[in-house]
Structure 1
Amino acid sequence: MSLAWTDHLIVLPVLLPLVAGALMATLPEGRHRIKFALSYASALGLLANAIALVLLADDGWPGAIGVYFAANWAAPFGITLVADRLSALMLVLTALMGLAALYYAQPRWSRIGVHFHSLFQFMLMGINGAFLTHDIFNLFVFFELMLAASYGLVLHGYNAARLRASMQYIAVNLAAALLFLIGIALIYATTGTLNMSDLARQASALSAPYIGLFRAGVAVMALAFLVKCAMWPLGFWLPTTYSVASPPVAVMLVLMTKVGAYVILRIWLLVFPEGAGAMAQFGYDALMWGGMATIVFGAAGMLATDTAGRMAGYAATVSSGTLLAVIGYGQPQVVTAGLYYFVASTIAIAAFVLLLELIERMRAAPGAALLALTMEAYAVEDSPAEPKGKGVPAATAFLSLAFAACALMIAGLPPLSGFVGKFGLFHALLNPGAGAAAIGAAGWTLMALVFTSGLAAIISLMRFGVRTFWASELAEPPRLHTAEVMPVAALLLVSVLLTVKAEPVFAYLARAGADLHRPALYLERVLATPALPGAAKELP
């Protein structure tokens, strides 16, 4: 038995940014172009590698699951990395977001402060590792690596507001890390393992005295994930952090918010499926109703704020709440639609946070937004006159069209991917399929909240758009750099492709969701795969 060269692609998303980040840390700070070239080459390599993993997971590995044992220790004793359809897709999404953020940062933001590119690569390493690892303790390691790098990046180009928000962000995440460790200790004390597949096997066989302790450990650990994915009331930190972070860092924060929801999806469908005995469906109701409460909180926040950065933060909160509610609802078709919405909303919000800095350049004076609001409140109008037929500058036209596209996607209005995701979600709720329970009160409530949150989003975004683009006397055509325009256009193009290719994307996600709902498949692939002969590493 030998390991195919393609199997080594599973570990490359961790090794490539590690090597690139370490190499750039040795270069002088003035070598901006060299650092950007190395960092961008690393991100391009990650994208190519992720696409290869998607192809291998979809039609290459047995059971559509690739297993890699670090140091050749067989599960459950060693570090196990697992690539399946879902994790491969998340790697593609991470690489796309990283490429957009890096390209946007190149003219300005990467040059403010120190070690931007090294920290960025270490953050990519942590995110990729969290998507690939099949071990809870190593999940903690990758989580902390991701967060440690983000601490430096949130402070990047620091000012007083960014410093205050970063202190809150760091304190909240350190508290979450402590909860994570406590949860891990309780889980290991009751099951004797932290490998996810072995954990699923051991948990279903726990005797009565240990069930309560195990559930307590899982609940404490879940709090750490729920803090990261901004479940109400744990997400109070998110809008402030989003509003003050530099745009390229905010893009990655959008993705990092979804990592917690991804981990919950992965663990809950593996460890607590139907047929798991006393562990079956543990915590699903809490996730569903907590996710719905998060949708309400995010929608109310969007209506209540006039700050564009906080608006983006609340939009990300609505997206996370929707995904958590979908996980708690549990039906495979609903999970498939939720995954599509997850990808589409992440890209839409990322494009929006990049766009906001460019839109702010249209302000003629610091008090322009306040003056526009005052004119609107008191119905102040200029005397009617014939329009002068002044043309719309190209920069303003691009920003207005890009803003309209982002607003449509975030609100879930046709014809872009946000609408496709919400329509697919409604269709899955109303047509649960053979053997699934018909839609009940929870399903109708989720539909109503998703619809209402979209209405709140379009009201708040239209209000912001009218004040920004229609108050022509208060705005000036901004100067835009090509490196700032291209990432926004590229993310919007990806959203268009998601819309045009919705059928094959949904088919792929349906296969990914079906795999997640077959935990026995993971147990067989991970626990039955032997270590390579020769270098020891199999324990009795």
Structure 2
Amino acid sequence: MGWLDHLVIIPVLLPLVTGALLLMFDERRHKLKATINVVSTICLGLVALALLDLANTPTAANTETASVYLLGNWPAPFGIVLVLDRLSALMLVLTSLLALPALIYSLSRWHKSGPHFHTLFQLLLMGLNGAFLTGDLFNLFVFFEVLLASSYGLMLHGSGPLRVKAGLHYIVINLAASSLFLIGVAMIYGVTGTLNMADLAVRIASVPDADRMLLDAGAGILGIAFLVKAGMWPLGFWLPTAYNAAAAPVAAIFAILSKVGIYVLMRLSPLLFGAEAGASTGFGDEWLMVGGMVTMAFGIIGVLASQAKGRLAGFYILVSSGTLLASIGMANAPTTAGALFYLVSSTLAVSAFFLLIELVDRVQDPAANVLAVTMDAYGDDMEEEEAAEEVGVAIPATLVILGICFASCGLLLAGLPPLSGFIGKFAILTAVFNPNGLTQGSTLSLSTWVFAGLLVVSGLAAMIAITRAGIQTFWAPIEGRVPRVLLMEIAPIAFLLMLCVGQTIFGGPIMRYMEQTAQSLHAPETYIQGVLTAPRVPSPAKEAAP
């Protein structure tokens, strides 16, 4: 094996080693720990880009293949496997693109507000990358627990009674979801005798009818665990409060956590319950579609009702999760391709918005917020943060820059042209109304019309809510003040927004990548064969024998 063959394990190994290394330094050595963390995160981003290029490079036969890494050199399904394909490579790059801006933003003051911030940050990246790369359900559970355990510490980072209260709720809910995850995995293993995803895809069709109900029950329980993380109604009630209470850089990186549940559902639904699943074909698709639309409606109401900008962003995450869940439930490649484009745009936009909220809130007089009778009950009563003094150079023309960034986030979240949010929603609507080349005179189901209507209304609701928040922030306050904003605080926001602009400019190539990814998801034969036939590395003795 060449060194390039080991590149697949680097996104898991590098943050693990970095996190362990950071524990060796005293907490007072903030600059050294920050430097190590930044260098590791940049290297992780470069590796993710290299893996994206590897996943997007066809073989000599011009066919897509999945890069399979056999840990311990045990073949599937007996050993642990890491699998790189277009979808996992996309999620690795998206994680890296969110991690670096959130980390740079935290260096102004947040990384000093609690112990072991940098270690927890690296372990979170390890859990995320492992969840995106793993090829079996048990190790998916292991990586879920790693990212959840580190997210507990980051959720409580900065202390404060409201943050602790929201953090404890967050911990309890996710522990319950982890228990359901383990129960579902145990039931599936009891029926099929395997937890390797590719091997499961082969065995599910041949499960006896007497065991089919137990298999479906296990899959349903497992799905509930994923839906808790994705925030589907009524399982996502914890999300707006928790994300609003988290520190700004923590909330920014948490924007990807809800997408882990989306990723798993997007991966497993066509793989395990696709056309070759026998009696289980299409299992859960209708529930995902209905649940996604109800989640969208709940999120729309929350967006319109929220006065605090942090809760507005939290409810928008529910809207985006509902959109993606309903798209997965439609179970066709064109809708999945549009959903993938929308996933990237919405995640980048809401991450930038979480970072921007803290800066925008500095414009208002804290005393005026206390007197505002329309403020959300949980939104703006957060006490003053006891953080260290900010480090960095302040920027000029602060209000102008903040206003431009705020307007850009509004366009992206509302899905208005010309930015990538509009392209993502337009791609979904196009696929919804023409999933398989419908001819003139073909009819669409009622659920399709409801989903399309909710998608349009969600953009209108986001536009109304963000316009209202902008007026209250930049125009209405008489006692407003010009905040001190540092370059290292505004630069990460600008970086995320420029990524959305780049996604708009290069929308054609990116959409083609999403279409190829969706096609491979809904035709998983290449993935299955790549995992189950991955060759072992021959021992040196056998190589020397000839």
Q: 1:513 aligns with which of 518, 533, 540?
A: 518
Contact 1:372 1:471 in 2 (8 A): no
- Residue 434 of structure 1 and its aligned partner are, at CA, apart by 4.0
The equivalent residue for 2:474 is 469
Contact 1:369 1:467 in 2 (8 A): no
For structure 1, list consecutive stretches of 5 or more residues without a partner in the other structure.
375-392
The equivalent residue for 2:401 is 398
- Residue 63 of structure 1 and its aligned partner are, at CA, apart by 2.5
CA change 1:56–1:310 in 2 (3 A) is: same
The equivalent residue for 1:382 is none
Counterpart of 1:18 in structure 2: which amino acid? L
- Residue 531 of structure 1 and its aligned partner are, at CA, apart by 1.5
The equivalent residue for 1:13 is 11
Counterpart of 2:40 in structure 1: which amino acid? S
Once residues 210 and 327 of structure 1 are traced to their aligned partners in structure 2, the CA distance between those partners, rounded to angstroms, is 26
The equivalent residue for 2:54 is 56
**Secondary structure at the counterpart of residue 68 of structure 1:** strand
Deviations 1:382-425 (A, max 9, x none): xxxxxxxxxxx710111111011001100111111111111111
Once residues 24 and 327 of structure 2 are traced to their aligned partners in structure 1, the CA distance between those partners, rounded to angstroms, is 45
CA change 1:535–1:304 in 2 (3 A) is: farther
Contact 2:134 2:140 in 1 (8 A): yes
Matches within 5 A, 1:494-509: 494-509=499-514
Once residues 14 and 532 of structure 1 are traced to their aligned partners in structure 2, the CA distance between those partners, rounded to angstroms, is 21
Once residues 535 and 105 of structure 1 are traced to their aligned partners in structure 2, the CA distance between those partners, rounded to angstroms, is 48
- Residue 435 of structure 1 and its aligned partner are, at CA, apart by 7.9
Deviations 1:311-345 (A, max 9, x none): 11000110111000000011110100010001000
The equivalent residue for 2:221 is 220
The equivalent residue for 2:198 is 197
Once residues 374 and 437 of structure 2 are traced to their aligned partners in structure 1, the CA distance between those partners, rounded to angstroms, is 53
**Secondary structure at the counterpart of residue 473 of structure 1:** coil
Q: 2:28 aligns with which of 27, 30, 47?
A: 30
Counterpart of 1:25 in structure 2: which amino acid? L
Once residues 266 and 120 of structure 1 are traced to their aligned partners in structure 2, the CA distance between those partners, rounded to angstroms, is 26
Matches within 5 A, 1:286-325: 286-325=287-326
Deviations 1:288-310 (A, max 9, x none): 11000000011100111101111
Once residues 449 and 237 of structure 1 are traced to their aligned partners in structure 2, the CA distance between those partners, rounded to angstroms, is 22
**Secondary structure at the counterpart of residue 114 of structure 1:** coil
- Residue 371 of structure 1 and its aligned partner are, at CA, apart by 4.3
- Residue 535 of structure 1 and its aligned partner are, at CA, apart by 8.1
Matches within 5 A, 1:230-309: 230-309=231-310
The equivalent residue for 1:385 is none
Counterpart of 2:2 in structure 1: which amino acid? A
Q: 1:428 aligns with which of 427, 431, 436?
A: 431
Counterpart of 1:456 in structure 2: which amino acid? A
For structure 2, list consecutive stretches of 5 or more residues without a partner in the other structure.
376-395, 542-546
Counterpart of 1:282 in structure 2: which amino acid? F
**Secondary structure at the counterpart of residue 256 of structure 2:** helix
- Residue 368 of structure 1 and its aligned partner are, at CA, apart by 3.9
The equivalent residue for 1:439 is 444
The equivalent residue for 1:480 is 485
- Residue 453 of structure 1 and its aligned partner are, at CA, apart by 0.9
- Residue 428 of structure 1 and its aligned partner are, at CA, apart by 1.3
Once residues 514 and 246 of structure 1 are traced to their aligned partners in structure 2, the CA distance between those partners, rounded to angstroms, is 38
Q: 1:489 aligns with which of 485, 494, 511?
A: 494
Deviations 1:349-397 (A, max 9, x none): 00000000001111123324744969xxxxxxxxxxxxxxxxxx71011
Once residues 160 and 202 of structure 1 are traced to their aligned partners in structure 2, the CA distance between those partners, rounded to angstroms, is 50
- Residue 7 of structure 1 and its aligned partner are, at CA, apart by 1.9
Counterpart of 1:174 in structure 2: which amino acid? L
The equivalent residue for 1:134 is 135
Counterpart of 1:401 in structure 2: which amino acid? I
Once residues 307 and 471 of structure 1 are traced to their aligned partners in structure 2, the CA distance between those partners, rounded to angstroms, is 15
Q: 1:529 aligns with which of 510, 531, 534?
A: 534
Contact 2:419 2:500 in 1 (8 A): yes
Contact 2:65 2:526 in 1 (8 A): no
The equivalent residue for 1:98 is 99
Q: Which moved more, 1:496-505 or 1:62-71?
A: 62-71
The equivalent residue for 1:408 is 411
Q: How many corresponding residue pairs?
A: 517
- Residue 275 of structure 1 and its aligned partner are, at CA, apart by 3.4
Once residues 438 and 116 of structure 1 are traced to their aligned partners in structure 2, the CA distance between those partners, rounded to angstroms, is 54
Once residues 426 and 439 of structure 1 are traced to their aligned partners in structure 2, the CA distance between those partners, rounded to angstroms, is 13
- Residue 430 of structure 1 and its aligned partner are, at CA, apart by 1.8
**Secondary structure at the counterpart of residue 367 of structure 1:** helix
Deviations 1:164-192 (A, max 9, x none): 00000000000000000100110000000
Deviations 1:208-250 (A, max 9, x none): 0111000000100111100001000000000000111001110
- Residue 427 of structure 1 and its aligned partner are, at CA, apart by 1.2
CA change 1:443–1:40 in 2 (3 A) is: same
Contact 2:292 2:323 in 1 (8 A): yes
Contact 1:411 1:454 in 2 (8 A): yes
Contact 1:53 1:88 in 2 (8 A): yes
Counterpart of 1:47 in structure 2: which amino acid? G
Contact 1:416 1:495 in 2 (8 A): yes
The equivalent residue for 1:380 is none
Contact 1:229 1:261 in 2 (8 A): yes
- Residue 276 of structure 1 and its aligned partner are, at CA, apart by 2.0
Counterpart of 2:467 in structure 1: which amino acid? M
Once residues 427 and 9 of structure 1 are traced to their aligned partners in structure 2, the CA distance between those partners, rounded to angstroms, is 37
Contact 1:372 1:474 in 2 (8 A): no
* TM-score (norm: length of structure 2): 0.92
Contact 1:372 1:467 in 2 (8 A): no
Once residues 150 and 24 of structure 1 are traced to their aligned partners in structure 2, the CA distance between those partners, rounded to angstroms, is 17
Once residues 229 and 540 of structure 2 are traced to their aligned partners in structure 1, the CA distance between those partners, rounded to angstroms, is 39
- Residue 147 of structure 1 and its aligned partner are, at CA, apart by 0.3
Once residues 67 and 81 of structure 1 are traced to their aligned partners in structure 2, the CA distance between those partners, rounded to angstroms, is 6
